[in-house]
Every structure is written in C-alpha cells, then in structure tokens.
Amino acid sequence: MPSENNFHMTPEEFRRRGHEVVDWLAEYFQRIESFPVLSRVEPGQIHASLPANPPAEGEPFEAMLKDVEKLILPGITHWQSPNFFAYFPCNNSGASILGDLLSSGLGVQGMLWATSPACTELETHMLDWLVQMLDLPQKFLSSDTGGGVIQDTASSASLCALLAARERATNFASNKRGCDGRLVAYTSTQAHSSIEKAVQIAGLGRDNLRLITVDEKFAMRPDALAQRIQQDRQDGLIPCFVCATVGTTSSNALDPVAEIGHICREQTIWLHVDAAMSGTAALCPEFRHIHNGLEFADSYCFNPHKWMFTNFDCDCFYVADRKALIQTLSVLPEYLRNKATETGAVIDYRDWQIPLGRRFRSLKLWFVIRHYGVQGLQHHVREHVRLAQQFAEWVKQDAEFELAAPVPLNLVCFRHKGGDQINQDLMDRLTRSGDLYLTHTRLNDRLTLRFCVGQTNTQARHVERAWRRIQEETARVGSGTESTIS
C-alpha cells in the first residue's frame, strides 16, 4: 500500500516492487514460447474484464501485478517471441530495457540542452557513433554540416524531412503562407504508408503525391521518376521531395538510391532515404551495399527498435544540413529562452522534431551498443540473415512453394502455388495454432506470405520448426482436413 503519510511509494518499497517487476519480466522471457504468439482474445474482452470505475483508494501492488498476469497477458501479442515472424520485428534486449528503466526513473524532459545537458549530448554522441558503425556519409556527423536526432518512428522522420524539403523549395515561405497546391512529392508504389500520411499533414495533399512504378524486383524505376518530374515541371508544378526506400515493408525491395540521387541532385530535389528495418544490416560490411548512393541523400533514417535490440521507440534520423531542418521547425517563445540557447553553442533538439517534449531515449541506445559491442550486434544480424536465407532455400526446393520476391536480407516473401485461397487458409491455420505468427502482402496482385527473421532470441530451431509446421498445415489444407491444433 502507499505510504500512510503522502501516498507515494517509499524508496524501500520502490526497490522491493522493482525487483518483483524485473523478476516477473525475467520469468516472462523464460516462458514466452508457451504462449500462442498472436493474442486470442475477442474484441472488447479486455475492456469488459476491467472495473467500470476507478478505485477510490489505492490498491496493493500485489493485486496490480496479479492482474497483469490475469487480465493483460491474455491480450498480449508476443512480439518478443522467437516464433514471431510477422511484419518487421520490434525487438528488445535486457540492456535496452534497463536503459529505458533508467530513462523513466530520471524522468528527463529533454526539449532543450539546458533542461538536461546529458540528455542532449549523449544523444548527439550516440548518433555520431552510429555514423561510424554503419559507415554513413561523414556529412551526417554533428561535427560536419548535418547531424542526427532520435525520433519516435520513421513516420516522424519522413514528415520532418518532407517539411524541410517543402521549406527549402519555397525559400521558407510556406511556413508563413501555407502551401499553394504546386508542391509535389514522389515515392514508389511499394513505399511505406507514412509518406502518404506525411503529405497530408504537411499540406501538400494526396493528389500531389506521385507513386512511381517499380521494376520486377519491386524497386523504384529511376526512368519513371525522371519522366514524372519532367511532366510535373511542364505542368507548372514544383517537385520538392523524393523518398527512396532501402527495404520496403512488403518485400524488402532496395530502391536504386544512387540513380535516384543523381536525378534529385540535377533537379535540386530533397532526397530522403528510409531504411527503417534494413538499415541495421549495414552494421556488417558485407551488407553496406544497401546504402550505395547515400552520399546524395539530404536525409536518412533507420530504426534501432526494429532490428538492433533497442526497444520501441527509437528512430535515428539524420540530415546533411541541420540549418534547413532547424529553420523549418524552430519556434522560440519567451518561456523557452535561455543563455545556453542564445550562445548558439548547443543543440536544442526541440527544433529537430514535431513535438516540443522528448524522452531520454539515447540511454537505452547507449546501453545496447556498450553491452553488445559492434561485434555482438554484427553476430546477430548475420545469424538472422543466414536463417532467412536457409528458409528461402527450403522454399525453393519445395515443389509446392515459390519465392515471390528476391531475398536480399532477412525477409522471405513466398507463396503456395495453389493460389490465393490456399495461402490465406495456410496463414490462418498457422496463426490459429499459436505456434508462429506470419503476415501477408500482395505482390503482383497475388496474396503472398511474409516470413521475417529478426527477433532477439530466434534461433535455428525456431526457423526449422516454423518450416515444419508450414509443411504440416500445407498437407492438411491440401487434403481438406481440419488442423488438430486448436
């Protein structure tokens, strides 16, 4: 129960309860494979299980933790399960969780350098470390013209990049008068939906987003991009932004950044490169080809919270010219004025993002990098890619299945040759079994299964078992029998 004097937890109680929570989490990770990967609750079930009214008096901590087990856990889809192969991973690690715990405990609001210098300077340093670790262009270093900042997600990074592109194209006039309907943005038909949302929020409008066709590998066609830019200029429009994707969500396609970059450089168009999941692969020298052409980019982002064992949320966003971004997003009311800011010698990250407030996210990134070291991170990335490539080989060797797209890294897009319905039935059966979780996409207008290897504790045995279960359920689908697994 809370303290009799002020209702707060005492330091002694916090210590005791904190140990209980860590113990619960450690036990959860030990038994995570015993749960069905996808939650089986019905819509409204969790809501109906909770009390209709808030408690008038504080309740024992034991009751809260008990209800997490009883009421919340059934409604959890276990993203940290080694049998989670859906979407893209959103993995974490012990080091990251502990760093995040420290961040929560310190409770820093890092909007300004002055509100906690360590929050700002550690973040700047971690983003510079990652420039080295991924061998990114030197212009993204804070010691050069650009620099990096931690956003919540790649969606926010893309929006910030688009806003800066909008202002650069209008000589920073659209912040004053709004958009006039002439600004145009470009991305591929396979790009993330966040680009469509960004053009809505930024005031360009969906009608001014051009979705460029892709080639047989589902990568943007530079010739189609150039033709559309030329047509828009002839129509009196102003091309201002191109988003290239390194690892699309549907198929992990790699847009030809160098060719796209040449076009953007010639046309003076802002190039943003979204490498949300796949960027982590560049920790390994043998995969750094995915960033070929990045020297042409005005901005770049990738998500350590997807494949670098850093829990959500953590997107690393870089710009080549920080002045353009800051001028786009800076608003300085009197109550935020301070001596450090006025000197111009510090970074105020409030000017690098949409919201004013910001968490101390760099602590968890610092803990992860220091715990694993570059070699440890490389080891796990290589192993995940190896396991995905092995899975792809099994698909190719099976007469009933086929690959639906190239497999450059850790995502395998495949399908049964029997058509959409058998693939849908297969995915549904596997999901209902609880043994693994897959999601789908449509490639060449055909339903396609996606198998992504990237969870922290996924090992060879999990991938082998997944392929075995796929074959078992395929046999049942083909024979028309019901699965014996409820």
Give per-residue pLDDT as tens, 458-482.
999 999 999 999 999 998 876 554 4
pLDDT tens figures, 391-417: 999 999 999 999 999 999 999 999 999
The tokens of 43 are what?
Answer: 């819509």
Closest CA to 40 of 312, 369, 392, 437: 437
Closest CA to 298 of 242, 256, 354: 242
- Report CA-CA distances (Å) from 154 to 26, 300, 315: 30, 10, 6
- Report CA-CA distances (Å) from 127 to 375, 453, 485: 18, 26, 47
The tokens of 408 are what?
Answer: 């450059």
pLDDT mean over 134-148: 95
Cβ neighbours around 176 below 10 Å, total: 8
Q: Are 351 and 326 in contact (CB under 8 A)?
A: yes
Q: Mapping DSSP to helix (H, G, I), strand (E, B) and coil, where does residue 232 land?
A: helix
| Rounded Cα–Cα distance for residues 158 and 409 (Å) | 23
pTM over 0.85: yes
pLDDT at 76 over 50: yes
Beta-strand pair 315-319/147-151: antiparallel
pLDDT tens figures, 329-346: 988 765 667 766 666 788
| Rounded Cα–Cα distance for residues 200 and 159 (Å) | 10
pLDDT tens figures, 249-272: 999 999 999 999 999 999 999 999
What is the pLDDT of the chain when averaged over all its residues?
A: 93
pLDDT at 373 over 80: yes
Q: What is the structure's pLDDT at 132? A: 97
Cβ neighbours around 244 below 10 Å, total: 32
Q: Mapping DSSP to helix (H, G, I), strand (E, B) and coil, where does residue 63 land?
A: helix
The tokens of 284 are what?
Answer: 């390994």
Q: What is the structure's pLDDT at 480? A: 53
Contacts of 199 (CB under 8 A, 6+ apart): 162, 185, 205, 206, 208, 209
Q: What is the structure's pLDDT at 484? A: 39
Q: Beta strands of 252-410 (E only): which ranges?
A: 270-274, 299-302, 315-319, 401-403
CA atoms within 13 A on the CB side of 207: 4
Q: Mapping DSSP to helix (H, G, I), strand (E, B) and coil, where does residue 41 land?
A: coil
Percent of residues, the chain, with pLDDT higher than 90: 89
DSSP 8-state symbol, 156: H
pLDDT at 308 over 80: yes
Percent of residues, the chain, with pLDDT higher than 70: 94
Contacts of 355 (CB under 8 A, 6+ apart): none
Full strand arrangement of the beta sheet holding 147-151: 147-151, 315-319, 299-302, 270-274, 238-245, 183-188, 209-212
Q: Which residue has the higher pLDDT, 302 or 7?
A: 302
Q: Which residue has the tokens 């983003």?
A: 127
pLDDT mean over 109-127: 93
Q: Mapping DSSP to helix (H, G, I), strand (E, B) and coil, where does residue 266 land?
A: helix
Q: What is the structure's pLDDT at 482? A: 46
Amino acid identity of residue 388, one-letter, is A
Q: Are 136 and 278 in contact (CB under 8 A)?
A: no
DSSP 8-state symbol, 238: E
How is 396-436 classified by DSSP, letter by letter? Answer: HH-TTEEESS--SSSEEEEEETT-HHHHHHHHHHHHHHTS-
Q: What is the structure's pLDDT at 63? A: 94
Q: Which residue has the tokens 């109680």?
A: 13
Cβ neighbours around 211 below 10 Å, total: 15
The tokens of 175 are what?
Answer: 């912040």
| Rounded Cα–Cα distance for residues 237 and 231 (Å) | 9
Beta-strand pair 209-212/183-188: parallel
The angle subtended at Cα 263 by Cα 258 and Cα 264, nearest 5°, is 95
Q: What is the structure's pLDDT at 347? A: 87
Q: What is the structure's pLDDT at 340? A: 65
Q: What is the structure's pLDDT at 486? A: 32
Q: What is the structure's pLDDT at 361? A: 95
End-to-end CA distance of the chain: 41
Q: Lowest-confidence range among 206-220, 378-392, 471-485?
A: 471-485
pLDDT tens figures, 155-205: 999 999 999 999 999 999 999 999 999 999 999 999 999 999 999 999 999
Q: Which residue has the higher pLDDT, 4 or 419?
A: 419
CA 148 to chain centre: 16
Q: What is the structure's pLDDT at 240? A: 97
pLDDT at 362 over 80: yes
Q: Is 280 exposed, middle or buried (0-12, 13-18, 19+ CB in 10 A)?
A: buried
Q: What is the structure's pLDDT at 333? A: 65
Q: What is the structure's pLDDT at 298? A: 97
Q: How confident is the model at residue 485 (pLDDT cuts 50, 70, 90)?
A: very low
